[in-house]
Amino acid sequence: MSRPVLIAPSILAADFSRLGEEVRAIDEAGCDWVHVDVMDGHFVPNISFGAIAVEAVRPVTKKVLDVHLMIAPCDPYLEQFAKAGADIITIHAEAGPHLDRSLQAIRNLGKKAGVSLNPGTPESVLDYVLDRLDLILVMSVNPGFGGQAFIPAMADKVRRIKAMIGDRNIDLEVDGGMTPQTAPLVAAAGANVFVAGSAVYKGEGVAGYRRNITAIRDAAEAAQCMSSIKNLFNSLVAVVAGSFASAAYAGTLAELGSTGFSDDGAYFAFEQYGIQDGSGFAYASFTIVDVKTDSWVPGTPVKVRLDDETLSASQARSAVRKQASGLLAQYGVKSSNGVLVVHNPASELSADPENVRFLPVKSTMQSGVPIEVQLDAFELSAGTECEVHGQTFGFRLLLSVPGKVRILHEDSRIPKSRGCPLAYRIDQVYAHRLNNRDFVLAIMLVMNTPGFEGPDGKYLAFTTRMTW
């Protein structure tokens, strides 16, 4: 069962000249904890608060004071922070010679004990202290300064630590670059406490702080819920697969045919085809996407269905290609433009359907800045006509390079053209190199919708231009 989502604004981002007011404001705005970053200018390259500041803040709020000691050595100061009013004292794994002893000392002071891991610190340091812990804090930026960008690789680290925690009564906290866009990445991985500094304090007063806290909380809870649903679904699938191992696959998955870009990368085209579930009729479609707007060009998708069970999918492909030939010429799309850089097929049982990491070039030298695409599905109504099928889902696509994350797509509603989407997965990624630095990417998703004999799969394309 997932632990409750807790938002812990970092007062490092507050207005220090009005610290008491700022703490009262986030308390009134609905924070769960108050996060206090203590820095010594030695363990990290900055100086912030000391025990006196914690003591001054303590009477201002009854919320949990989550004190994060970025100091070394930490042992001589534990009692000071305990007496100052800290409820949780978190130390870094590297901040003293004897981690286990330090954690015992914190608990002996009557406080909850936490350990923090820097981005480069392996989770293996937790192996022999897990039963001493109430909290694990994963730094998703390098400690020392606020306002840094989230490091995407930390989501995998959170996932591994969550597995180590198991059923222990330990909160899993993430600190660094937390926003409504990044919090879902680590919430889905198992985190339940989110430290946000500038993302909370960028607002104006209580109302602004409340909006910011609510936005992070809602995004994290949605991701947490989807993760739980996915885990339950996977468990059910495993049970069904084990019970009916010899059963035939129900529903149909479209085949992805010809794809390509225009020379200038302004347009991307893809073809899909197959035999319709239920009717047995062959179908095919051709879609051209305007990369700048990430939308279909007028006149597409071109669709063909051959209402004759004796006709094949290849015949439907021939028919749709003929109809689309003029549009392909008009927009200058060529199948020779673009390379397949990710292939993540549904038949690959070890593939991650929601995350791919790749280089946008084919080369024997595996070097360069990696690109990561994360798919996060969330419950979203597709209209009353879909209610008979149960839950329907929208999604967001996050594209990241080290130190930078951006939203490539996020549904606010489900377009009628999708029908009643039940699930999504990343299937393929194509890249078209424009020059030494600029690329166009086309990310191909498979969307499952209700079919006659089971879920059917059709392709969606999402495009973007980027500098690598």
User: Is the pLDDT at 160 greater than 70, yes or no?
Assistant: yes
In which band, very low, low, confident or very high, does the pLDDT at 134 lie, cut at 50, 70 and 90?
A: very high
- How much is the pLDDT for 248? 40
- How much is the pLDDT for 168? 93
376 catalytic? Reply is no
User: Is the pLDDT at 267 greater than 50, yes or no?
Assistant: yes
User: What is the share, in percent, of the chain residues with pLDDT greater than 70?
Assistant: 93
Q: Which of 37, 40, 66, 171 is catalytic?
A: 37
In which band, very low, low, confident or very high, does the pLDDT at 402 lie, cut at 50, 70 and 90?
A: confident
- How much is the pLDDT for 232? 55
Q: Which of 27, 66, 134, 175 is catalytic?
A: 175
User: Is the pLDDT at 242 greater than 50, yes or no?
Assistant: no
- How much is the pLDDT for 240? 44
CATH of the domain spanning 6-232, picked from 2.60.40.10, 3.40.50.1000, 3.30.1490.190, 3.20.20.70: 3.20.20.70
User: Is the pLDDT at 327 greater than 90, yes or no?
Assistant: yes
User: Is the pLDDT at 363 greater than 80, yes or no?
Assistant: no
Convert the pLDDT of each residue in 68-97 to its tens digit: 999 999 999 999 999 999 999 999 998 989
Average pLDDT, the chain: 89
Convert the pLDDT of each residue in 46-64 to its tens digit: 888 899 999 999 999 999 9
- How much is the pLDDT for 347? 79
- How much is the pLDDT for 245? 41
Assess contact for 427 and 345: CB atoms under 8 A.
yes
User: Is the pLDDT at 315 greater than 60, yes or no?
Assistant: yes
Q: In what order do the strands lie in the sheet with 355-358?
A: 355-358, 371-379, 393-401, 404-410
| pTM score | 0.57
Residue ranges, comma separated, of all CATH 3.20.20.70 domains in the chain are 6-232
User: What is the share, in percent, of the chain residues with pLDDT greater than 90?
Assistant: 65
What φ, ψ does residue 237 adopt, rounded to 5°?
-60, -45
Range 345-374 average pLDDT: 81
- How much is the pLDDT for 165? 94
37 catalytic? Reply is yes
- How much is the pLDDT for 108? 97
Range 194-210 average pLDDT: 92
Q: Over the range 216-243, which residues count as b (16 or more CB within 10 Å of their CB) and which as e?
A: bbebbbbbbbbbeeeeeeeeeeeeeeee
